[in-house]
Amino acid sequence: MYFSHLFAPTLREVPAEAEVVSHQLLVRAGFIRKSSSGVYTYLPLAWRVIKKISAIVREEMNKAGGQEILMPIMQPAEIWLESGRWQVYGKELFRLQDRHERDFCLSPTHEELVTDLVRSNVSSYRQLPLFLYQIQNKYRDERRPRFGLMRGREFIMKDLYSFDRDEEGLEITYRKMYQAYQTIFKRCGLDFRPVEADSGAIGGSVTHEFMVLAESGEAQIVYCSNCDYAANVEIAPCFPSENSKEPLQKREKVATPSQTTIEEVAGFLKIPAHKLIKTLFYQADQEIIAALVRGDRMINEIKLQKLHPALTLEMASAEKVKEITGCRPGFVGPVSLKNIKIYADEEIKTMVNAICGANEEGYHLINVQPHQDFDVFAYGDLRMSEAGEACPHCHAALKTARGIEVGQVFKLGTKYSKALGAKYSDEQGQEKFMVMGCYGIGISRTMASAVEQNYDDEGIIWPMAIAPYHVVIIPVSIKDNLLWEKSLEIYRALREKGIEVILDDRDERAGVKFKDADLIGYPIRLTVGKKFKEEEKIELKLRGDQAVKFVSTQEIIMVVMDILARELKY
């Protein structure tokens, strides 16, 4: 491909709305363009990357026994009503009606549709296990699409669904897919970690997320350097720490004018934050509940929703809090709360002489004793795990990192097969429910994640396996016939060897071509310039390496092929 023929509109300025590096660089380097909020067009360079990631995924899914299909994006509401998820999925589900006013949705995932397909066409144990997958667009009406391809309304995903005879079969399948995912992300050149996770609206008993480690990641994980434990902080278990033992003091109300945050109150009263009780109010479906954690802790809403099951859980408005307590947030507390369920973290149970809001503007209560001053509906692990806490497996200190979720595997069990009646007959002719799993990879998100891990001040540094082109050839001047002819000769020789190569044939200064080459991120840059004229040598530079080397024209093709063979060892 000649660069002059390539549709890759590069930009020098950072787009104003682009918050993370992958969004900035994919726009600047001419890979994507925004169509609407959370929806992007993939330009030729991006589509080449997407196809390479998809090819790796296909190879590994096929090796694991997967069979590729393609299911409709538009799904009838009936099967979602059967599974019970029509309402559970909430506002993220794009809903629409046809001209006959029949309800449909745009697929965020395909558990219902694939189960409907299998229940109608599989009836015997002889047809199991069965692994069906597709690579297709998905749609989720994100409240706030952001970070470019990281959190969009339309994205490309691989989803595989497994159907086994029993739990033992599912365990074998789950491990097989888990291993396949590790191979996929290694082949894509990513630094990743599988972590225990929450199953969310998908459901199921066991799930792991595959996290690409990056500072820009929305998710936080905890991991143990002593063993292989790792988990999303959303589900990582926390062990209550010991609260100090001290004589009980008499409860008092003290003035705390204008002190509304934990930090302000702790500073004003000259006490550590762990002595305070943080009181948070939530709208859980139609009910208001209160949740308590220590002042130095973060509430974990995933854990709270498990303790108090609700379809929707969100912070109650300031107006609603004032209606319940008589004052605005900042001065609220659990003492004297009436007709409201209070859920508390385990650490609250052993606190003594604690401080909390007095439910009166400008006042707090000191020396509060949770075991006697208010009633708790249920105690549980309600807080976020933090660095330094004990590993639940070996008790070593945990560390934290940020990650981008690029894949997730689920043990679904019989959640969908029971809801939709997907059964098979065993050897004795008895009907049993199929045991399911599902396994997703964000293809477009994997591309963005690769950029988040591989870039410098000049642009993208693509891993070789998924780079849009492997080589760019830059003649310093296309007006110099000697340089141009040699560039063209190398270009044709590489193409004959099946190597993906761009020839920058533009009548531009060499500096402009170098800038674009670094921005786009070709792994290998060959420059035909002064050194060729003097010594018949070609300048070779690897994108992630500052050093350059000069290779004779007789050896350049073989050297490039050796680099590619080494990097593309899979």
User: Domain of 371: which CATH number?
Assistant: 3.90.960.10
Bridge partners, 33 (sequence order): 41
| Number of Cα atoms under 13 Å in the Cβ half of residue 360 | 10
Q: Is residue 421 part of a domain?
A: yes
Task: Check: CB of residue 402 under 8 Å from CB of residue 20.
Answer: no
Among candidate residues 52, 378, 35, the one with its CA nearest the CA of residue 188: 52
For residue range 167-222, list pLDDT tens digits in order: 999 999 999 999 999 999 999 999 999 998 876 666 566 889 999 999 888 888 99
What's the token pair of residue 541?
Answer: 């530079």
Q: Is residue 247 part of a domain?
A: no
- Cβ density class 164-183: b for 16+ within 10 Å, e for less: bbeeebbeebbebbeebbee
Q: Is residue 461 part of a domain?
A: no
Task: Check: CB of residue 335 under 8 Å from CB of residue 373.
Answer: yes
Bridge partners, 232 (sequence order): 221
Name the burial class of residue 80, with classes exposed (0-12), middle (13-18) and buried (19+) by CB atoms within 10 angstroms of its CB: buried
Map tokens 């589509």 to a residue: 47
Do residues 420 and 562 share a domain?
A: no
Pairing of strands 471-475, 524-528: parallel
Map tokens 């029993």 to a residue: 166
The mean of the pLDDT values for the chain is 94
What's the token pair of residue 144?
Answer: 């706030």
Task: Check: CB of residue 55 under 8 Å from CB of residue 446.
Answer: no
User: Of 407, 425, 452, which residue is a domain's last?
Assistant: 452
Do residues 175 and 136 share a domain?
A: yes
Pairing of strands 501-503, 471-475: parallel
Among candidate residues 447, 343, 398, the one with its CA nearest the CA of residue 49: 447
Question: Residue 360, SS3?
Answer: coil
Query: Which CATH number is 68's domain given?
Result: 3.30.930.10
Do residues 171 and 276 share a domain?
A: no
Do residues 209 and 260 share a domain?
A: no
Do residues 40 and 188 share a domain?
A: yes
Do residues 12 and 128 share a domain?
A: yes
Do residues 276 and 328 share a domain?
A: yes
Q: Is residue 228 part of a domain?
A: yes
Q: Which one-letter DSSP state was computed for residue 58?
A: H
Domains held by the chain: number:
3
Among candidate residues 260, 202, 245, 569, the one with its CA nearest the CA of residue 416: 202
Q: Is residue 133 part of a domain?
A: yes
Report pTM. 0.88
Q: Is residue 219 part of a domain?
A: yes
Q: What range does the domain containing 523 cover? A: 469-567
C-alpha dihedral sign at 229, 233, 235, 237? positive
Name the burial class of residue 155, with classes exposed (0-12), middle (13-18) and buried (19+) by CB atoms within 10 angstroms of its CB: buried
Task: Check: CB of residue 335 under 8 Å from CB of residue 253.
Answer: no
Q: Is residue 356 part of a domain?
A: yes
Number of neighbours of residue 16 by Cβ within 10 angstroms? 6
Sequence-ordered list of residues with C-beta below 8 angstroms from that of 345, at least 6 positions apart, any chain: 240, 292, 293, 294, 297, 379, 380, 381, 382, 383
Among candidate residues 130, 131, 154, 133, the one with its CA nearest the CA of residue 142: 154
Alpha carbons 508 and 504: distance in angstroms, whole number: 9
| Number of Cα atoms under 13 Å in the Cβ half of residue 102 | 9
Q: Rounded to the nearest 5°, which phi and psi values hold at 498?
A: 80, 20
Name the burial class of residue 412, with classes exposed (0-12), middle (13-18) and buried (19+) by CB atoms within 10 angstroms of its CB: buried
User: Of 380, 408, 423, which residue is a domain's last?
Assistant: 380
Alpha carbons 159 and 16: distance in angstroms, whole number: 33
Map tokens 């690769």 to a residue: 450
Do residues 289 and 182 share a domain?
A: no
Among candidate residues 432, 438, 433, 442, the one with its CA nearest the CA of residue 411: 438
Do residues 226 and 257 share a domain?
A: no
Do residues 322 and 350 share a domain?
A: yes
Task: Check: CB of residue 407 under 8 Å from CB of residue 197.
Answer: no
Q: Is residue 364 part of a domain?
A: yes
Residue type, 318: A
Number of neighbours of residue 73 by Cβ within 10 angstroms? 16
Do residues 263 and 318 share a domain?
A: yes
pLDDT on residue 241? 84
For residue range 225-278, list pLDDT tens digits in order: 898 899 988 888 998 887 778 899 999 999 999 999 999 999 999 999 999 999
Do residues 82 and 226 share a domain?
A: yes
CA angle 432, 435, 439 (to 5 degrees): 160
DSSP secondary structure string, 498-524?
A: T--EEE---SS-HHHHHHHHHHHT-SE
Question: Residue 391, SS3?
Answer: coil
pLDDT in tens, the chain (570 residues): 999 999 999 998 888 888 899 999 999 999 999 999 999 999 999 999 999 999 999 999 999 999 999 999 999 999 999 999 998 888 899 999 999 999 999 999 999 999 999 999 999 999 999 999 999 999 999 988 889 999 999 999 999 999 999 999 999 999 999 999 999 999 999 999 999 887 666 656 688 999 999 988 888 899 998 988 999 888 889 988 877 788 999 999 999 999 999 999 999 999 999 999 999 999 999 999 999 999 999 999 999 998 999 888 999 999 999 999 999 899 999 999 989 999 999 999 999 999 999 999 999 999 999 999 999 999 999 999 989 889 988 989 999 999 999 999 999 999 999 999 999 999 999 999 999 999 999 999 999 999 999 999 999 999 999 999 999 999 999 999 999 999 999 999 999 999 999 999 999 999 999 999 999 999 999 999 999 999 999 999 999 898 999 999 999 999 999 999 999 875
What's the token pair of residue 241?
Answer: 């720490």
Alpha carbons 504 and 52: distance in angstroms, whole number: 23
